């Protein structure tokens, strides 16, 4: 195994801006005609083959890294794995271990204790719907009784053990779909297989093809012929074939054989063929521990770990919390993705307590809240629109449901949903078996739900909104935050200018994301104000001029706030380290009175003086 914006800050001091301005709400016809873009996409993931429908429904799976390396536990002859990433399953290559000595690690395996059914039961209790085991990892050692090579369990255990056979039987017994990991590109054991030392000591295409035809093709044939239904085969070439010794022809040969032997078996993009290059690839695999960042219409998956290493490492202490793992699963599901979470059993088959504990806690959460994950899809709002959590959705009979996953229970016991035009029929907590109605109100594109004092779940609580039909999502809205304000950033403008360049945070993020404004620039946002009343307007920016120069102007409807741009000076990023950076400061621009609830467009104009740029960060309205 192996992701800004611009800010300006102002001090009160233009033409007396500590006054209240009264804007008019935008007309409904203007709103619907020009301001809102409704997304009425089909509910299902569009680019999903029939054979992958189960996969997009399952959402959660188990990964198992287990092999000879499990006996080493990250150390060889007293020396720790020779790489800072500490991936224990790479010890054969990293520590330059002799092939025959490496096999002797089997002496550490307690075969009387090793029972793959226990892993399957753990997966089931964790709420996982499928699992993938490393049938052959990069070390080339097969966990089944292979007739192709003697570098396998069948030739080195007495009595013979076939872990794949045992896994297949246990998965069938417990209703879990079985997937197999097979390292096709890299094989450290076979003289013709690829290992990265061959960047120095070249190997011919002919020798590599000999390995391909002698080992890869026949071993994959064995796996797909002798163990019943294999639901997916998971390859691990993390680069495109064009960057490797593997040819496209060899990959097509392999995939064609899979389609012939088991037409329903899924193949992932780490075969070495991208989904763009070959639409017959079933799902995209992201990088190791890489979570989704945007909605996709094709099936995709993140492989993740509970700690750091994939194979068991005795020194690994980087355990992720149950909350973070649940948020990884929910976050991926909210973007149409899956999460495959790894266990690395020891040489006696035991799963580390820290891993099994977290998996079982996730399973308990899914027993109550699994409806909000299994069979759900991404909704049409931006994934980062709300600061309280994520949204998943599904059509269930005559009802359409939005599942609002609350990562943090709001202190004011109010849940704000912005950008959904439909009026819910009902709101309730998913953990409430009686589905007791929660009070809510809806106006245009804004829904507010009153929550009880106590959250039902210590990790993530789920509020369900039921609709008679799928509500329309409204693009481009800035959502009301959990503390009742509106954070207007260069990146959440609507529409977002194509030419805008957001400077990423730097200097350990002591310099925030911002936009450098060196000439007059206009920014526009859309907000829904749910109650009439006065709101203050603040702006944050950095300006290194000596005097107040240039202007910042805020307009909404017929109202205007205007102020000079004031110097912000420098600050110390880290004491005693000569770490001096530009200061970003918040400036009160004044107040705006919103006469009635409704949709408003907020426009900001920044007019810096020539050769005196302003770094704009945000506008805050509350």
pLDDT above 90 as % of the chain: 89
Confidence at 496, pLDDT banded by 50, 70, 90: confident
Res 559: pLDDT: 87
Residue 22: what pLDDT?
A: 55
CA atoms within 13 A on the CB side of 6: 23
Say if residues 233 and 224 touch (Cβ distance below 8 Å). yes
Q: Count CB-CB contacts under 10 A for residue 20.
A: 12
pLDDT in tens, 198-212: 999 999 999 999 999
The class that CATH gives domain 20-36+483-621 is: mainly beta
Q: What is the mean pLDDT of residues 76-89?
A: 95
Once rounded to an integer, what is the mean pLDDT over residues 503-532? 96
Beta-ladder partners of 516: 615
Q: Is pLDDT of 153 > 50?
A: yes
* 261 within 8 A of 227, measured Cβ to Cβ: no
Tens digits of residue pLDDT in 582-607: 999 999 999 999 999 999 999 999 99
Residue 243: pLDDT band with limits 50, 70, 90: very high
**pLDDT above 60: residue 512:** yes
Give the pLDDT confidence of 433-484 residue by residue, as tens digits: 999 999 999 999 999 999 999 999 999 999 999 999 999 999 899 999 999 9
pLDDT in the model for residue 599: 95
pLDDT for 14 equals 28
Least confident span in 2-16, 31-45, 152-166, 526-540 = 2-16
Residue 492, pLDDT > 60, answer: yes
d(CA 295, CA 11): 40
| Between 43 and 58, residue with greater pLDDT | 58
Q: State the greatest distance between any 2 C-alpha atoms of the chain, in Å, as a whole number.
A: 89
State the pLDDT at residue 24: 55
pLDDT tens digits, one per residue of 87-135: 999 999 999 999 999 999 999 999 999 999 999 999 999 999 999 999 9
The CATH architecture assigned to 54-370 reads Alpha-Beta Barrel (3.20)
Q: What's the confidence (pLDDT) of residue 43? A: 47
The pLDDT score that the predictor gives to residue 221 is 98
3-state secondary structure of 89: helix
CATH of domain 379-474: 2.60.40.1180
Position 28 scores a pLDDT of 39
Residue 124's alpha-carbon distances to 310, 360, 363, 456, 563, in angstroms, are 20, 9, 8, 24, 61
Within 10 angstroms of residue 451's Cβ, the number of other Cβ atoms is: 21
Q: Indicate where the chain has its CATH 2.60.40.1180 domain(s).
A: 379-474
Mean of per-residue pLDDT scores for the chain: 92
Q: What is the pLDDT of residues 20-48, one digit of tens each?
A: 455 555 543 333 333 333 333 344 577 89
Mapping DSSP to helix (H, G, I), strand (E, B) and coil, where does residue 173 land?
A: helix
Q: Is the CB of residue 540 less than 8 Å from the CB of residue 586?
A: yes
- Residue ranges matching CATH 2.60.120.260 in the chain: 20-36+483-621
What is the mean pLDDT of the segment spanning 339-355? 98
- Encode pLDDT of 533-555 as tens digits: 999 999 999 999 999 999 999 99
Which ranges in the chain are annotated with CATH 3.20.20.80? 54-370
Model confidence at 262, in pLDDT bands (50, 70, 90)?
very high
**462/452 Cα distance (integer angstroms):** 13
> 0.85 exceeded by the pTM?
yes
Q: What is the pLDDT of residue 557?
A: 77
Residue 221 exposed, middle or buried by CB count within 10 Å (0-12, 13-18, 19+): middle
């Amino acid at each position: 195994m192996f992701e800004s914006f611009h800010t300006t800050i102002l001090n009160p001091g233009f033409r007396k801006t500590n006054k209240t301005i009264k804007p008019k709400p935008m007309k409904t016809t203007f709103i619907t005609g020009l301001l809102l873009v409704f997304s009425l996409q089909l509910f299902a993931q569009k680019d999903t083959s029939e054979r992958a429908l189960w996969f997009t429904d399952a959402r959660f799976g188990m990964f198992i890294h287990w092999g000879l390396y499990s006996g080493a536990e990250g150390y060889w002859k007293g020396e720790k794995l020779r790489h800072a990433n500490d991936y224990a399953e790479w010890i054969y290559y990293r520590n330059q271990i002799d092939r025959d000595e490496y096999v002797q690690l089997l002496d550490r395996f307690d075969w009387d204790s090793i029972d793959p059914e226990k892993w399957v039961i753990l997966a089931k209790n964790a709420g996982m719907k499928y699992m993938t085991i490393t049938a052959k990892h990069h070390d080339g050692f097969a966990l089944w009784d292979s007739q192709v090579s003697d570098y396998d369990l069948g030739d080195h255990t007495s009595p013979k053990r076939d872990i794949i056979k045992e896994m297949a039987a246990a998965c069938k017994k417990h209703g879990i779909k079985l997937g197999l990991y097979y390292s096709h590109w890299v094989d450290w054991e076979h003289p013709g297989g690829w290992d990265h030392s061959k960047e120095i000591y070249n190997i011919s295409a002919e020798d590599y093809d000999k390995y391909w035809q002698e080992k890869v093709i026949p071993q994959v044939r064995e796996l797909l012929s002798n163990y019943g239904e294999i639901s997916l085969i998971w390859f691990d070439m993390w680069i495109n074939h064009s960057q490797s010794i593997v040819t496209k022809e060899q990959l097509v040969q392999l995939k064609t054989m899979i389609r012939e032997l088991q037409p329903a078996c899924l193949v992932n993009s780490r075969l070495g063929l991208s989904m763009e290059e070959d639409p017959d690839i079933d799902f995209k695999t992201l990088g190791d521990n890489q979570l989704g960042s945007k909605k996709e219409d094709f099936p995709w998956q993140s492989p993740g770990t509970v700690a750091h290493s994939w194979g068991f490492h005795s020194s690994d202490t980087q355990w992720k919390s149950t909350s973070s793992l649940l948020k990884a699963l929910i976050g991926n599901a909210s973007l149409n993705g899956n999460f495959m979470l790894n266990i690395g059993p020891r040489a006696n088959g035991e799963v580390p307590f820290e891993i099994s504990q977290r998996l079982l806690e996730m399973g308990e959460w899914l027993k109550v809240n699994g409806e909000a994950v299994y069979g759900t899809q991404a909704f049409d709002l931006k994934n980062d629109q709300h600061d309280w959590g994520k949204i998943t959705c599904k059509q269930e009979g005559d009802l359409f449901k939005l599942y609002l996953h609350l990562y943090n229970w709001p202190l004011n016991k109010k849940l704000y949903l912005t950008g959904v035009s439909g009026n819910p029929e009902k709101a309730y907590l998913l953990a409430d078996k009686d589905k007791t109605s929660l009070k809510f109100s809806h106006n245009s594109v804004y829904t507010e739900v009153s929550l009880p004092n106590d959250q039902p779940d210590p990790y993530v609580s789920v509020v369900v909104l039921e609709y008679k039909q799928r509500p329309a999502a409204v693009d481009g809205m800035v959502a009301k935050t959990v503390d009742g304000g509106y954070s207007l950033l260069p990146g959440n403008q609507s529409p977002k200018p194509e030419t805008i360049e957001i400077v990423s945070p730097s200097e350990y993020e002591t310099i925030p994301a911002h936009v450098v404004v060196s000439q007059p620039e206009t920014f526009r946002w859309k907000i829904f104000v749910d109650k009439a009343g006065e709101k203050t307007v603040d702006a944050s920016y950095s300006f290194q001029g000596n005097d107040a120069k240039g202007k910042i102007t805020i307009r909404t409807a017929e109202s205007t706030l205007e102020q000079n741009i004031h110097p912000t000076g420098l600050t110390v990023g880290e004491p005693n380290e000569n770490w001096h950076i530009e200061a970003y400061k918040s400036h009160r621009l004044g107040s705006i009175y919103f006469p009635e609830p409704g949709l408003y467009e907020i426009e900001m104009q920044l007019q810096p003086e020539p050769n005196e740029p302003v770094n704009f960060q945000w506008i805050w309205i509350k």
